[in-house]
Amino acid sequence: MFFNRTKKRIFFSKNNDDLLEELKGKGINDKNILDAIKKVPRESFVNETYIQRAYENMPLPIDCEQTISQPYVVAYMIDCLKLKKTDIVLEIGTGTGYQTAIISHLCKKVYTIEIFNKLFSQAKINLSKLKIKNVTYSLGNGINGWREKILFDAIIVSAASEKIPLKLLQNLKNFGNLIIPKKYSSGNQKLILIKKTNENSFDQKELFDVRFVPLLNKNAEN
């Protein structure tokens, strides 16, 4: 049960414990990831229209014709990054901040980029309410990578791209991991995991089919 802004009681179709059990059943067994998901109230990041479904394992619409990702896909992508508490992570596509919040519990620092000002503002408010302080935000085009010269241990992209952005590969430390949905000419999308083996060499692994909103190559929207 949850009280919304008007103090109206909301009854969820499922709760966070139900979601965690479903994730375990799908092979998400990393205790740190499960603990991080348990700490993050998904209802805080969902539009009120869909709030009763906050803990269903499915993507949900948010503003600007974007979505909050399916929890299983969020957990799986994070699991692929093999994060350590000392890691610095770059996230492309903040959205309302749900994935950002989970990652913040698993690493030292998160840098996150959002192209839509409305979502950018919502995410900052949402994470501030949860007293999450190890996140640095940027309003801009994620294809261009981080605005300052920083190398990241891991990069996670929450939108599909036909090409792997060169700037993101350049933002990655040696032996770092980048996970991104790639869109093929057929229209299909697959998750791609990339490991940087040295300055100019990368190993690439194709994972499974997904469906993400497109990675936009344009100026940030006010």
Residues of the chain with pLDDT under 70: 1-9, 220-222
Region of residue 12 (phi > 0: left; psi between -120 and 50: alpha; otherwise: beta): beta
The full set of domain ranges for the chain reads 56-210
Strands 88-92 and 152-157, by their bridges, are parallel
Domain 56-210: homologous superfamily in CATH: Vaccinia Virus protein VP39 (3.40.50.150)
The pLDDT value given to residue 3: 45
The pLDDT value given to residue 221: 61
* One-character DSSP codes across 108-160: SEEEEEESBHHHHHHHHHHHHHTT--SEEEEES-GGG--SS---EEEEEE-SB
Torsion angle in degrees (nearest 10) through CA of 98, 100, 103, 108: -150
Q: Which of 13, 44, 69, 128 is an active site residue?
A: 69
For the question of residue 186 being annotated catalytic, the response is no
The pLDDT value given to residue 14: 86
Stated pTM of the model: 0.92
The pLDDT value given to residue 222: 55
Q: Which tens digits make up the pLDDT trace of 74-132? A: 999 999 999 999 999 999 999 999 999 999 999 999 999 999 999 999 999 999 999 99
